[in-house]
Amino acid sequence: MKGKDILREIIGTSGGEFYTPIPKGYKPGKTKYIVITGSVMSGIGKGTISSSLCKCLQDRGLKVEPMKLEAYLNVDSGTLNPFRHGEVFVLDDGYETDLDLGTYERMLDKNLSRDNFVTSGRVYQTIIEKERSGKYLGRDVQFIPHVTGEIKSFVRELAVKSKADIIPIEIGGTVGDYENMFALEALRELHYEEGPENVCFVNITYIMQPNSLGEQKSKAAQLGIKRLIAMGIQPDVIVCRSESKLNDKIREKISLNTNVPMENVVGVHDVSNIYSLPLALRERGFDEKVLQTLELNKKFVSNGNTGLKKWVKETSVSGKGKKLTIGIAGKYTGSSDTYISILKALEHCSFATNHKIGIKWIETTKIEKGDESVEKALKGVDGVIVPGGFGVRGIEGKIAVAKYCREKNIPYLGLCLGFQIALIEIARNVSGLKGANSTEFDPKAKHQVIDILPEQLDIEGLGGNMRLGGKDVEVKPGTITAKTLGNANKIRRRFRHRFECNPEFIETFEKAGVVFSGKAPKVDIMQIFELPKHKFFMASQFHPEFTSRPLKPDPMFLEFVKKAAE
């Protein structure tokens, strides 16, 4: 019995135990699904492998629309602490997601939307709203079939809206986590309803290699996959992550204990350049095995790897240029995931300039407390980035960094908070406004040069009172910024902030030598400024790192790196 027949039978059942809302215009089998799960442990590169698979499929000519199902009960990622969960990535439509959506956007060179990221909190919020309005027709609302039904509804809605050939669905966390069991159950049901020819299960597992033994061990991987099988999900393809190359003995054990043919057990060991991973997966037959399961391998054949080989070549650095050291002055420097998009934007610039770029982490709380001097902290850097952030901790350290860069002619790139920090520093030390500050850090500041956005004043709740997403920016002709941006009159970039340059101080800043080279259309919200007499001193209220791509580095980042290399 084909999936479309099963689904037709379920839809035709009235008053039964099924709850499978089908979006208008949905056609079973038109869009196929890949469900990607992780086992043994998190942090093994599930998102990177998933996005690399998407790249392989896109290279074959498929329209790919990735989706991330995240287990936590937050409605979105906006209020998550960067230390705990890494960077909050902002989509063009303003939705706040985790960093994996950034990986997908960069790998596929496409903008995603809120439909591509669904948390358990959002699912439950939808259910409560429906229940309160009587949409469940008096039924007692249960995890099965209602929670699982709503998850399937999100998946199928994306299929209708995107008209994708294939939707890879990454499940956050690992098999066995209580919080993601309902997502796994929902996708087991999806497989049952759509049919095995329309849903492929991929499990990414980890092969341990304890130093004391010096050999690979597969028992943890076997147990993790067996737990998945116990939930009614039989993997079609297994990807084994390991530090060194996977040996055939391990592949045989995994195959024997999981009912997966040995040719569908793929080894992926550590690589120095993640952009080479799609080609490596192609060469190991990963995308071919997935498409065989979905009966698409004959329709979408491989193109001989020409495109992926070119991609690998263009995303490599020969290292002939000078190695640069870029300082990142932040307060979340204990985890590189916090600033992952900035690191990737610099990486994109390294491909374009052929300079290897090293990072020096500058913990501004140490400077603020006097534990380290700004001179010592910035020693040896070729340029400094002050990234976004919230809260008062480390702010005075960042102001000291901005002052040092301005006075010592060190290339400076301010991003969001880095824009505000530089203006506070200039107000204090150039304009002579002692006590200048942001009302975020000092609500009673004598000179409130940074203040909350007027349109945000009436919004309550930490999770919803920011200016978010893609916005237009008018660029002032004849400025360094305009030249950097290819003399564009208008650009679109992504924002995530509550506070802005207080319009009352615009004239004061201009007298101090500041050139506001970008603003919001029709209103005096300043969004880019530059110091023309400086080697490179530019800051933006938006986040240019969110729209940088491997072969299309953001122009502001690129100019910053070029000046740092001089």
Phi, psi of 492 (to 5 degrees): -125, 125
Catalytic residue among 355, 416, 530, 559: 416
* Omega prior to 145 cis, within 30 of 0: yes
β-sheet bridge partners, residue 518: 475, 528
- 237: nearest Cα among 206, 192, 201, 196: 201
510 catalytic residue (yes or no) = no
4-9 contacts: CB < 8 A, separation 24 or more?
Answer: 4/28, 4/29, 4/195, 6/192, 6/193, 6/194, 6/195, 7/193, 7/194
For the beta carbon of residue 97, count every other beta carbon within 10 angstroms: 26
Dihedral sign for Cα atoms in the order 47, 52, 53, 54: positive
- Provide DSSP, 375-394: HHHTTT-SEEEE----SSTT
Catalytic residue among 170, 497, 543, 559: 543
Determine the Cα–Cα distance for residues 31 and 158; give it in Å rounded to an integer. Answer: 10
405 catalytic residue (yes or no) = no
**Helix extents (H) in 195-299:** 219-230, 248-258, 277-283, 286-293
Scanning the structure block, which residue is given the tokens 């005096």? Answer: 524
Determine the Cα–Cα distance for residues 2 and 250; give it in Å rounded to an integer. Answer: 35
The DSSP H or E segment spanning 97 is strand 96-97
Scanning the structure block, which residue is given the tokens 């000092």? Answer: 442
Catalytic residue among 87, 500, 545, 559: 545
Determine the Cα–Cα distance for residues 243 and 254; give it in Å rounded to an integer. Answer: 17
500 catalytic residue (yes or no) = no
Determine the Cα–Cα distance for residues 49 and 225; give it in Å rounded to an integer. Answer: 18
User: 429: phi > 0 → left, psi -120 to 50 → alpha, else beta; which?
Assistant: alpha
Residues with a catalytic annotation lie at 416, 543, 545
